[in-house]
Amino acid sequence: MLTREDNELLSRVGPGSPAGELLRRYWYPIAFARDLTEESPTKLVRLLGEDLVLFRDRSGRAGLLADHCAHRGASLLYGRVEERGIACAYHGWLYDTQGNCLETPAEPADSRFHLTVRQRAYPVQKLVGCYWAYLGPEPAPHLPPYDILLRRDGRRTLQLRGQVDCNYLQAMENSVDPAHLQILHQNSAARGRPILNTTRGFTDEVESFDFDLTDYGIMKRRVYSDGRIDEHPLIFPNILRQGNGMEIRVPLDDTHTWIYEIRFYPTEDGSFVEDEGDPPVEPTVPHKDRPGVPHPYARFTMAQVDHQDYMAWETQGAIPDRSVERLATSDRGVLLFRKVLKENIERVQRGLDPLGVVRDPNHPMIDTNLSGSLVAEMGWFPRAEEEAPRYGYSTEARV
């Protein structure tokens, strides 16, 4: 269990909160590239408790500014996008992508007042068909070169799975909870087999599980009684890399979270894809009958694995009272994540970089065991027969 004080410490994500200051040291996807067009060049973004406007000016530069104009607070969502930036629709105050005020049209021609004005602005970059934002102190770190983002021997798809009406912490604790897979997701785990005991599901097939700290998070390792090994990581602080996918949990505020999904599909012969372009965006299926309405006023569909997870996260409460929980031996991954989270909050408070922050522009690609997951979880067969034993898989079973 957590004390109420520690629960608040780990849960709150707004400006100035301890966890919020930690989370601001990382990059987050905030929109798809296709979301900004000539006809619709602005998009409202909520991230870590702040309302922001993403825009692309007529010169092609992307910017992310505080929503309310520094003049009298009108929304920049309705601003006019120009060559040099975005002009507030109310009085024309013009801002560039760095938040510098370039013009205040109603002031005298020789006025230098605009030089005293600055709109809050954050760095933004485009990668793998998404715009990513960083809300922390400068200089901004590099977006870590994870294998699923950079590998060229395949193609990707994108999906915004939707808004989950709860704090980000439930989602991340779920990522180091190996016990729920064979029970909550037992229909999927069955893979066509009969379910003989719905209470136990397929939990008896798991021989052991454990966790290892890595340079970028926590590696979860599950060993099955038939010899299979499933090993995939929680990338600190807000990503689950599982199967062929990367689920990025983006905290909008204390009680709402977006789930972005990036999936990787390797080429059959291992050949490189020369120019993938912006990956296609997959449609989203609502996970409850009244999107945006909290439990118990909405009914979860339970039709998909992710919908089952969202039910479990949301029905704990927008921010659960963890002072009354009863943890067991299977929750040791949850305890480990909370410990790492608290330690890295303290690192930030001491002025240090937290876990997984990358400063080196030439940092090599980070191996998150994507190939291992493709074998063990997705049934993908490696090109080299000798690779299979490394991932706990025998190619003799191939049909």
**Tokens 């004005």, residue located:** 117
Please give the single-letter amino acid code of residue 322. R
CB-based contact 176:333 (threshold 8 Å): yes
**What does the pLDDT read at residue 303?**
85
**What does the pLDDT read at residue 239?**
98
- At 4, is the secondary structure helix, strand, or coil? helix
CA distance to 57, 68, 74, 95, 193, per residue, from 104 (Å): 18, 16, 14, 10, 69
For 39, list phi and psi in degrees, rounded to 5: -75, -30
For 283, list phi and psi in degrees, rounded to 5: -70, 160
User: How close are the terminal C-alpha atoms of the chain, in Å?
Assistant: 48
**What does the pLDDT read at residue 88?**
98
Q: Which CATH architecture has domain 147-397?
A: Alpha-Beta Complex (3.90)
User: Can you give the residue ranges of every domain in the chain?
Assistant: 27-134, 147-397
Using CA atoms, how far apart are residues 62 and 55, in angstroms rounded to an integer? 6
Query: Residue 315's Cα: distance from chain center in Å?
Result: 21
pLDDT lower than 50: segments of the chain: 384-385, 388, 390-399
| Of 210, 135, 152, residue with least CA distance to 179 | 210
27-134 CATH choice from 3.40.50.300, 2.102.10.10, 3.30.530.20, 3.30.930.10? 2.102.10.10
Residues 266-313: pLDDT tens digits? Answer: 998 889 999 999 999 999 999 999 999 999 999 999 989 999 999 999
CA triplet 21, 24, 27: central angle to 5 degrees?
165
Q: What is the pTM of this model?
A: 0.93
CB-based contact 249:263 (threshold 8 Å): no
Handedness of CA 273, 279, 283, 287 (dihedral sign): positive
For 253, list phi and psi in degrees, rounded to 5: -160, -160
**What does the pLDDT read at residue 395?**
39
What number of other Cβ atoms are within 10 A of residue 108's Cβ? Answer: 8
**What does the pLDDT read at residue 397?**
33
Using CA atoms, how far apart are residues 5 and 370, in angstroms rounded to an integer? 37
Residue 109 half-sphere exposure, CB side, CA atoms within 13 Å?
0
**What does the pLDDT read at residue 383?**
54
